[in-house]
Amino acid sequence: MTQAPAPPGSSRRRHDREIIALAVPAFGALVAEPLFLMVDSAIVGHLGTPQLAGLGIAAALLATAVSVFVFLAYATTAAVARRVGAGDLPAAIRQGMDGIWLALFLGIAVIAVTLPMAPGLVDVFGASDTAAPYAVTYLRISSLGIPAMLVVLAATGVLRGLQDTRTPLYVAIGGFAANAALNAALVYGAGLGIAGSAWGTVIAQCGMAVAYLVVVVRGARRHGASLRPDAAGIRASAQAGVPLLVRTLSLRAILMIATAVAARLGDVEVAAHQIILSLWSLTAFALDAIAIAGQAIIGRYLGAGDTEGARQVCRRMVQWGIASGLVLGALIVLARPLFIPLFTGDETVQDTLLPALLVVALSQPVSGVVFILDGVLMGAGDGPYLAGAMVVTLAVFAPVALLVPALGGGLTALWWAMALMMTVRMLTLWLRTRSGRWLVTGATR
């Protein structure tokens, strides 16, 4: 007897439960990450302005270095989730170990570059003579933790692919608490100054990496998966990550162009731009959490050969993205009298950022769709298309943004250009998902 299909409402509720179960812990883990820098800044700030300036420069360099390798999480999530969907847990964990080994090797390479080049990198950022020594000290010590940071990225991808976002949340909370305690103890208790802050962060990051490895190694032993580095598997992980690296670099270029254009508009405009960019990044955490759920769920469905299930969850997640964007946009508008004074008391800056902030609020539903479809295609392992789409977006955005000061436009015009950029991204991603070409099934793509 053929079983009757589940009612549409039942299917939606099942998808909603899956999305919430993965997205809520993922959001907590994402929010915990920037708190590391906030703690460092709060503690180092009491040492003096040069120390805080040095920390800011070094932290920007470290954030750039680590963000370039975020593909370690994204590509690993998709690859592991496919094998989970195919019912092959040993192969899923083996795939995850390949990503972790790749992260370790890349981290060692970054150390080899950063240690000797630290003074030159700091000079590129235009550090003052008083801040530069502190920046170099913090950068050199903190770079020793980069392998651990990259292992954390890859291991997070493994657990997300295994449909586990709770463990990354717990590890992030533990790492945040350890970082705060170690910073206070080493900076003030041991009198190490900014070097103590760097060592505290390195130790906390290494502790997080060890916690992840314990979980993954236990899973590998339970399912009989090999822990040894496999050259072919590591090479395959690197090849899968290259398109996502191109995507990430293109996105970073867009953000750098926007900041450069804002700087050309004037000090007031660049100050207002940084505030808006911070808020824009904060809303991105909420949307990215849903996208992370999409990566894990879509990969699993395609690994199981269920294209209709993948389509259904994609449609449901787009609805989530639009709804989340509408809520975030409304919150930005309604809460602006509360949060704008927290960033600046300068009325000129406030007046400048307000109309641009409204553009951000209006474009949040578009951002919601972009983040969701980005996550869906990542979960499908559709990296080459994502890379090409982002390069096209960069090619459209760059000339429009660079024309803003030439045509006498202000900060609001720049953020309309950012809205255009998100719209182009939405169109390219929508065309791909509508085509169905991303629906490639099987344990591997």
- The tens digit of pLDDT for each residue in 177-188 reads 999 999 999 998
Range of lowest pLDDT (118-132, 136-150, 238-252, 312-326): 118-132
pLDDT at 4: 43
For residues 155 and 96, is the Cβ–Cβ distance under 8 A? yes
For residues 277 and 60, is the Cβ–Cβ distance under 8 A? no
Give per-residue pLDDT as tens, 253-270.
998 888 888 888 887 887
pLDDT at 97: 94
Return d(Cα 84, Cα 22) in angstroms, integer. 15
Give per-residue pLDDT as tens, 309-354.
999 999 999 999 999 999 999 999 998 888 777 766 778 888 888 8
Distance of CA 263 to the CA centre of its chain: 25
Using pLDDT thresholds of 50, 70 and 90, give the confidence band for residue 213: very high
Structure pTM?
A: 0.86
Tokens, residue 99: 């990503």
Concatenated DSSP letters for 44-109? HHTT-HHHHHHHHHHHHHHHHHHHTTTHHHHHHHHHHHHHHHTT-HHHHHHHHHHHHHHHHHHHHH
If you average pLDDT over residues 220-228, what whole number do you get? 89
Return d(Cα 168, Cα 50) in angstroms, integer. 34
Tokens, residue 396: 């459209």
Range of lowest pLDDT (49-58, 369-378, 404-413): 49-58
pLDDT at 8: 56
Tokens, residue 250: 């293109």
If you average pLDDT over residues 163-172, what whole number do you get? 91
What rounded mean pLDDT belongs to the chain?
Answer: 88
Return d(Cα 372, Cα 295) in angstroms, integer. 9
Concatenated DSSP letters for 116-149? HHHHHHHHHTT--TTTHHHHHHHHHHHHTTHHHH
